[in-house]
Amino acid sequence: MPHISINGQACTLAEGSSLLQALRDNGCQPPHPCHDDRLKPIGACRLCLVEVEGQARPVPSCATAVTEGMVVHTATARLQSLLHTNLSLLADGYPAKAVHEQAEHPFHQLLVKHEVNAGSNHQSPIFKDDSHPYLGIDMDRCIHCQRCVRICDEVQGQFVWKVWGKGEQTHIAPADGKSLLSSGCVSCGACVDTCPTGAIFDKRSTGPVDQWTKTTCVYCGVGCQMEVGSHDNKVVAIRPTDSPVNHGHLCVKGRYAYDFTHAPDRITHPMLRRGSDWHAVSWEEALSFTASRLQELRNKYEADSLGVLSSARATNEENYLAQKFARVVLGTNNVDCCARVCHQPSAKALKTMLGTGAATNSFSDIEHTSLFMLCGCNPTENHPIVGARIKQAVRAGAGLIVIDPRRTELAACADIHLALRPGTNVLLFNAMAATLLEEGLQDDDYIAMRVDGLAGFSSFITAYAPEQVASQCGVTSGDIRRAARMYALAKPAMCFHGLGMTEHLQGTQGVMSLINLALLTGNLGKRGSGINPLRGQNNVQGSAQMGCEPASLTGAQNLADAKVRASFEQAWGTNLPTSAGLDLPAMLAAASSGKFKAMWVMGYDIAMSMPNASQTLAALAQLELVIVQDLFLNETAKAVGHVFFPAASVFEKDGSFMNADRRVQRVRQVVNSPGEAKPDWQIITELARHMGHEQGFKFDAPQAIWNEIRSVWPAGAGLSYQRLQNESLQWPCPATLDDNHPGTAILHQQGFGAGPKASLACIDYQPTAEVCDDDYPLLLTTGRELYHFNAGTMTYRSPNAVLKPTDTLDISPADARLLGLAQGQSARISSRYGTAVLPVNITDKMQVGQLFCSFHRADLNVNALTSPYCDNLVHAPEYKVTAVKVKGLTAE
Ligand SMILES: Nc1nc2c(c(=O)[nH]1)N[C@H]1C(S)=C(S)[C@@H](COP(=O)(O)OP(=O)(O)OC[C@H]3O[C@@H](n4cnc5c(=O)[nH]c(N)nc54)[C@H](O)[C@@H]3O)O[C@H]1N2
Ligand SMILES: Nc1nc2c(c(=O)[nH]1)N[C@H]1C(S)=C(S)[C@@H](COP(=O)(O)OP(=O)(O)OC[C@H]3O[C@@H](n4cnc5c(=O)[nH]c(N)nc54)[C@H](O)[C@@H]3O)O[C@H]1N2
Ligand code: SF4
Ligand code: SF4
Ligand SMILES: [Mo]
């Protein structure tokens, strides 16, 4: 630990401290407008100068390393005069008006503090751009600190800003010399955030902020931490905070897409439908009506004709209550959530092979791996903070293999991009496993200690040599071998995967075949390794973990296990239902055949997001009671709802979410809910009370619900709200006497669930029946894009709709030529199940013969196209493979 002297005071510093950090830690606050702790220092503004004995000239403290015995002075007359001179130089061309009108910017505060006047030589800026809905540009306030340029390069990795010109002409403008958006800006807001003057600013948050409340992002499973600014009971601004997940960075959805909260069409009263019209009613009427209808239907049919779908958008506490309600109040295990349609195959594969159905490692490992293998995921759009971190790690030297039919942004910078044909993951991973064993690249020591079944697997896998399967996969055998070698030789290597793996007939098996590779190469139980599903919604991990699936209770504990059942029966003071329970696809099938009668659908727009929409709607139309609980009158409510319960949004309630790397993080109320909308947990407890179950549903606040959860879930027992106040903890985190279990960043370090060893799985490839033929010659895969989120209910109610107004049909230039399609032209897509019309987007990211579209705009109804096929083990729909034909439409 270095020892230095600052203004005559001896100081001992932490190893690796910068001089600026040392000064701050010892009570000096040199001004440093060109410095941001997230960026490499450049020492450009020369305002943080200090004198170091032995050096002729003052040095910038931000860019100077500490050396042992350094003697530093910060307050000499020479430094004060230099500070004044340098500040005056910056102030000379600066608009005085801005300093007076916007006191919040650090540079303005500095000028005021040092009594330096701005504006004697103010000139108008060279670059102007008012085209972005969120980012305002006022470059006459640019002080050339280059923080925008550097943060866009070093944190977001977008390289939008550039320093142009020389001398007097030096200015900052987008790299293409035109506009922010045409230069590839992804609207993350990082440059706004770091700008010390307001030269780049948030157009919309100019008003005052009364309070900043720390909470968790409402969108994806990354779980970024943020502060939400409110004024007059309205959300008016969002800014990132530092956390192990997002390191003070956000993406466009988390940062800007909050307008849905105050959208004029938020539903603020409970409603009942009479005939085709909805009528606002009191809570009392809505709850009594619903309770008596549920009781009636249960008496007329049976408890198993009723079911609950819980919301992966709602909190852990709410999801826990939803499944408890199904099991205790309705008396059925018919409960499910959105995990069913996305990563249930991952959970099943991981639990079956390794013992725990969740990501094995942490986002913190991204900076500690030698190689990423990204399989069927598109993190720069769908998990943008993770995407940006991966991009930076690759820039810093990590290897990158991308396995995706499309040339995604990360595929374009990969060492190897395997653009496989959709639906052939099992073949490809088996071929990689065959390569590893044939070429002797497996980790023998690891296998000896931790892996079973090698002999059987070795003989099974020979049938999958790359040369035998490559043409079916649509890639070369040489590339498969190269990828296998690269993955095996990089130590450690880390896999992330997405829905391109799971939303298939062989989704679970695809993930199992990937886990084989990690077992063979010893890439489990170590930092920078593992199998990591990029979970989807803000709380989909939590929703399933809380027990919102038929076969599992809270903590993913097996309902069929007699000991587990007994402990829950004791905790809940009642017998648990004994029948197996239906998952969502099974509920829909049972509805079609008249065996299933009522559904309570919380925060899940199944009519638009489930596949094969016409079949889904026909099934839903059979139901005698559909209760929808949402912020908006969503497609499900419009099509088949009988009762509508208005829910509070995430900004309007307390609780917790669980993110994709097993972190439980607090959600905190920022504003009051509008009208009579209530948090989901309150609605559930009140309906329980109306059905005679006050006991067991009596909670004054989410913390009390969370404490009950901790009492039935041993691996989460150590996660008290008290600890979550300031800590970011990952389960397993059991209770300890001194309440200080550190949580578990990396699973399987010593063993796997049941024992020290895990078994390799022999997975035969089973192709889907959804195949192209002469009538349907093109293969459509569906997924998502940056600016919109799933059902689009939230992002389409924000200016993100300006940034991206529609889903598009992405098609290769060759196919577009063949079909005579022009950019932007409307095209009718037809599958064996339905049709949809989308504007054409011609892009060389697509392979010939393949199409892609997102499904975010309800009126475009992309799910009219998708098929009824689903994962053969856990029923995740096969959203990724649909045979279609396309016809250009002429403008009317
Ligand atoms: N901006 C945005 N972010 C989101 C969401 C959103 O709607 N918008 N939704 C959230 C949710 S719920 C989820 S689950 C996640 C999903 O995040 P991702 O898993 O990244 O989602 P997708 O875009 O559906 O699919 C990922 C990739 O799979 C590829 N793919 C298709 N078929 C195959 C195949 O057979 N093999 C392989 N290897 N790849 C294939 C596609 O080309 C696509 O690039 O995103 C979350 N984040
Ligand atoms: N074609 C195709 N279809 C797909 C997919 C695909 O890749 N291709 N992906 C699938 C996947 S992975 C997923 S996860 C689904 C997602 O589909 P959905 O779950 O239907 O979509 P979301 O937009 O996540 O949110 C559902 C609803 O939650 C509401 N909501 C938000 N916050 C709250 C809250 O706090 N309380 C309540 N009660 N409601 C709230 C929103 O208004 C919205 O109506 O789509 C699936 N559908
Ligand atoms: S908003 Fe983000 S991507 Fe756009 S210019 Fe700023 S830092 Fe770069
Ligand atoms: S990456 Fe996900 S969690 Fe983070 S700000 Fe974006 S949407 Fe929110
Ligand atoms: Mo999802």
Read off the tokens for 653: 């309630």
User: What average pLDDT score do residues 388-416 get?
Assistant: 98
In this prediction, residue 119 has a pLDDT band, given cuts at 50, 70 and 90, of confident
Name residues contacting ligand 4 (CB within 6 A).
217, 219-220, 222-224, 246, 250-251, 253-254, 383-385
pLDDT of residue 177: 87
- Residue 121, pLDDT > 80, answer no
Report how far apart, in Å, the C-alpha atoms of 156 and of each of 190, 389, 766, 889 are: 8, 8, 40, 39
What are the b/e assignments for 680-706, b being 16+ CB within 10 Å? bbbbbbbbbbbbebeebbebeebbebb
- Residue 892, pLDDT > 60, answer no
Q: Is 11 in the pocket of ligand 3 (CB under 6 A)?
A: no
- Atom from ligand 2 closest to the CA of residue 791: 23
| C-alpha–C-alpha distance, residues 410 and 374, integer Å | 9
| C-alpha–C-alpha distance, residues 433 and 377, integer Å | 21
DSSP run (H or E) holding 417? strand 416-418
In this prediction, residue 12 has a pLDDT band, given cuts at 50, 70 and 90, of confident
User: What average pLDDT score do residues 100-119 get?
Assistant: 91
Residues in the 5 Å CB sphere of ion ligand 5: 342, 536
Question: What DSSP state is assigned to residue 773?
Answer: -
Atom 4 in ligand 3: residue holding the nearest Cα: 185
Q: Is 17 in the pocket of ligand 2 (CB under 6 A)?
A: no
| C-alpha–C-alpha distance, residues 349 and 494, integer Å | 17
In this prediction, residue 890 has a pLDDT band, given cuts at 50, 70 and 90, of confident
Instruction: Extract the runs of DSSP E, i.e. beta strands, from 298-343.
Output: 306-309, 335-336
Between 545 and 12, residue with greater pLDDT: 545
Report how far apart, in Å, the C-alpha atoms of 615 and of each of 585, 609, 854, 861 are: 11, 12, 20, 13
**What is the maximal distance between C-alpha atoms in the chain?**
92
- Residue 13, pLDDT > 90, answer no
- Residue 151, pLDDT > 80, answer yes
**Which ligand is closest to the CA of 505, given by its number?**
1
- Residue 148, pLDDT > 60, answer yes
Helix (H, G, I), strand (E, B) or coil at 92: helix
Read off the tokens for 485: 């070698």
* DSSP one-letter string for 539-585: THHHHHHTT-BTTEETTTEETT-HHHHHHHHHHHTSPPP-S----HH
Taking alpha carbons only, the member of 527, 520, 649, 545 closest to residue 261 is 649
| C-alpha–C-alpha distance, residues 402 and 395, integer Å | 15
| C-alpha–C-alpha distance, residues 264 and 558, integer Å | 44
Q: Is 191 in the pocket of ligand 3 (CB under 6 A)?
A: yes
- Atom from ligand 1 closest to the CA of residue 497: 19
pLDDT in tens, 433-447: 999 999 999 999 999
List beta partners, residue 533. 497
Helix (H, G, I), strand (E, B) or coil at 336: strand
Angle CA(414)–CA(808)–CA(507) in degrees, nearest 5? 55
Report how far apart, in Å, the C-alpha atoms of 77 and of each of 51, 73, 706 are: 11, 10, 58
| C-alpha–C-alpha distance, residues 485 and 767, integer Å | 26
- Residue 693, pLDDT > 90, answer yes
Task: Tell me which of 514, 880, 881, 882 to substitute to probe ligand 1's pocket, judged by most ligand atoms within 8 Å of the beta carbon.
Answer: 880
Q: Is 443 in the pocket of ligand 2 (CB under 6 A)?
A: no
Read off the tokens for 523: 């890439």
pLDDT of residue 15: 78
Find where tokens 């600014």 sit: 229
Between 16 and 749, residue with greater pLDDT: 749
| C-alpha–C-alpha distance, residues 796 and 814, integer Å | 32
Specify the amino acid at residue 537: Q
Whether residue 208 is preceded by a cis peptide bond, meaning omega within 30 degrees of 0, is no
pLDDT in tens, 572-631: 999 999 999 999 999 999 999 999 999 999 999 999 999 999 999 999 999 999 999 999
pLDDT of residue 753: 84
Report CA(855)–ligand 1 centroid distance (Å).
Answer: 11
Task: Tell me which of 38, 142, 146, 156 to substitute to probe ligand 3's pocket, judged by most ligand atoms within 8 Å of the beta carbon.
Answer: 156
CA 215 to chain centre: 15
In this prediction, residue 891 has a pLDDT band, given cuts at 50, 70 and 90, of low
Give the HSE-up count for residue 867: Cα atoms under 13 Å, Cβ half-sphere.
Answer: 24
> Would strands 71-73 and 3-6 be described as parallel, antiparallel, or unpaired?
parallel
Specify the amino acid at residue 254: G
Report CA(877)–ligand 4 centroid distance (Å).
Answer: 25
pLDDT in tens, 339-398: 999 999 999 999 999 999 999 999 999 999 999 999 999 999 999 999 999 999 999 999
The region of weakest confidence among 172-181, 502-511, 548-557, 743-752 is 172-181
Q: Determine contact, residues 268/676, Cβ cutoff 8 Å.
A: yes
pLDDT in tens, 314-327: 999 999 999 999 99
Mean confidence (pLDDT) of the chain:
95
Residues 30, 31, 37, 40, CA torsion sign: negative
How many helices, marked H, and strands, marked E, lie in the chain?
31, 37
| C-alpha–C-alpha distance, residues 327 and 362, integer Å | 33
| C-alpha–C-alpha distance, residues 260 and 794, integer Å | 5
> What is the SS3 string spanning 822-867?
CCCCEEEEEECCCEEEEEEEECCCCCCCEEEEECCCHHHCHHHCCC
pLDDT in tens, 28-72: 888 888 999 999 999 888 888 999 999 989 999 999 989 889 999
Question: What DSSP state is assigned to residue 870?
Answer: B
| C-alpha–C-alpha distance, residues 360 and 383, integer Å | 17
pLDDT in tens, 503-550: 999 999 999 999 999 999 999 999 999 999 999 999 999 999 999 999
- Atom from ligand 2 closest to the CA of residue 649: 35
| C-alpha–C-alpha distance, residues 721 and 701, integer Å | 12
pLDDT in tens, 452-503: 999 999 999 999 999 999 999 999 999 999 999 999 999 999 999 999 999 9
Read off the tokens for 843: 């892009």
Tell me the domains of the chain and their CATH numbers: 3-91 (3.10.20.740), 121-262 (3.30.70.20), 271-340+539-730 (3.40.50.740), 344-533 (3.40.228.10), 778-888 (2.40.40.20)
| C-alpha–C-alpha distance, residues 377 and 536, integer Å | 11
